[in-house]
């Protein structure tokens, strides 16, 4: 019997099987050698809440060559200060007050258009300070915060090599653990003797609370009374009557004979020489 036709019929199947065997063995090896796809890792978003917990005062400023930027320090006793409240950035201790919206994006501080008051400063170095700090902020510097105990450092690094370092001082809200209540106090021009258990011959400010309507008109004045404590940030000048906007905070666990409230100056609303 002739078996050649059967052999010839099986030959294509055998060749097909041989040709498929290498590819079956190569599949797992190729898969093992191929790099696994990696997911892109997004940079963590900057936590802007730390900015709001401190007043940031300029403590150092250097150019790309390492030299100090003296133009930013016309008054060493009153350094430039940045404050971040919600989405608002404000600059104080320049010639004018400067402020506007801001955001932090891609590791950069990105202020919106900055507005400023229109005071004229006779000191040219102080007058030039407004533009010196405004330009550096609007250049969208890279932003970073380094924690150093109770005094964190805020660094703003511009693309031209300028680096500004601000030292943080806790805000009243941070120190007292809350927002506090906004009140208006009228402070009389003169002080009066008052009894204080720890301070003999104590002179107390005479204050009364003032309330305004939504239209800004005075609605009522409280009774004059001595204030047995200081108002943080306020220095009284004898003979000057002031209306102050202050924040009133509850002091948690005050020491013995210490007040259970604290007053912190927000702004001077009115000021006049008493007749």
Mean pLDDT throughout 15-39? 45
Report how far residue 109's alpha carbon sits from residue 132's, in angstroms, rounded to the nearest whole number. Answer: 16
- Mean pLDDT over the full length of the chain: 85
The pTM for the full model equals: 0.74
pLDDT at residue 274 tops 70: yes
Q: Burial-class residue 175 by CB neighbours within 10 Å (0-12, 13-18, 19+).
A: middle
Number of residues written out for the chain: 275
Domain assignments of the chain as residue spans, ordered by start: 49-170, 175-273
Range of lowest pLDDT (23-27, 148-152, 268-272): 23-27
Tokens 């013995």 correspond to: 256
Q: Give 37's contacts (C-beta < 8 A, 6+ positions apart).
A: none
Reported as a pLDDT band with limits 50, 70 and 90, residue 201 is: confident
Q: Tell me which H or E stretch contains 21.
A: helix 4-33
pLDDT tens per residue across span 229-264: 999 999 999 999 999 999 999 999 888 878 899 999
What angle is formed at CA 107 by the lines to CA 102 and CA 108, rounded to 5 degrees? 40
Query: Whole-angstrom Cα distance, residue 93 to residue 80?
Result: 5
Query: pLDDT tens digits for 210-235?
Result: 999 988 899 999 999 999 999 999 99
Distance CA 195, CA 255 (A): 19
pLDDT average, residue stretch 129-134: 95
Chain segment 67-121, per-residue pLDDT in tens:
999 999 999 899 999 999 989 999 999 999 999 999 999 999 999 999 999 888 8
49-170: what fold? Answer: Lipocalin (2.40.128)
pLDDT more than 90, % of the chain: 68
């Amino acid at each position: 019997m002739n078996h050649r036709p059967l052999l010839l019929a099986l030959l294509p199947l055998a060749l097909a099987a041989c040709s498929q065997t290498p590819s079956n063995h190569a599949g797992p090896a190729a898969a093992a050698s191929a790099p696994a796809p990696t997911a892109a890792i997004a940079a963590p978003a900057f936590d802007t809440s730390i900015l709001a917990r401190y007043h940031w005062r300029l403590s150092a400023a250097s150019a790309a060559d390492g030299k100090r930027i003296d133009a930013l320090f016309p008054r060493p006793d009153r350094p430039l200060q940045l404050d971040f409240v919600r989405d608002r950035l404000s600059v104080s201790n320049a010639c004018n007050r400067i402020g506007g919206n801001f955001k932090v994006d891609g590791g950069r501080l990105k202020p919106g258009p900055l507005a400023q008051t229109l005071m004229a400063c006779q000191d040219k170095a102080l007058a030039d300070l407004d533009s010196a700090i405004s330009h550096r902020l609007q250049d969208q510097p890279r932003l970073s915060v380094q924690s150093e105990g109770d005094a964190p450092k805020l660094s703003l690094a511009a693309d031209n090599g300028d680096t500004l370092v601000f030292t943080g001082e806790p805000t009243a809200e941070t120190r007292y653990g809350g927002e506090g209540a906004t009140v208006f106090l009228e402070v009389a021009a003169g002080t009066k003797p008052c009894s204080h258990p720890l301070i003999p011959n104590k002179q107390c400010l005479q204050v009364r609370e003032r309330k305004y309507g939504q239209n800004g008109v005075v609605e009522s004045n409280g009774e004059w009374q001595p204030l047995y404590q200081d108002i943080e940030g306020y220095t009284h000048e004898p003979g000057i009557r002031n209306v102050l906007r202050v924040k009133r905070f509850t002091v948690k666990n005050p020491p013995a004979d210490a007040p259970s409230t604290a007053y912190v100056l927000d702004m001077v609303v009115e000021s006049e020489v008493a007749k």
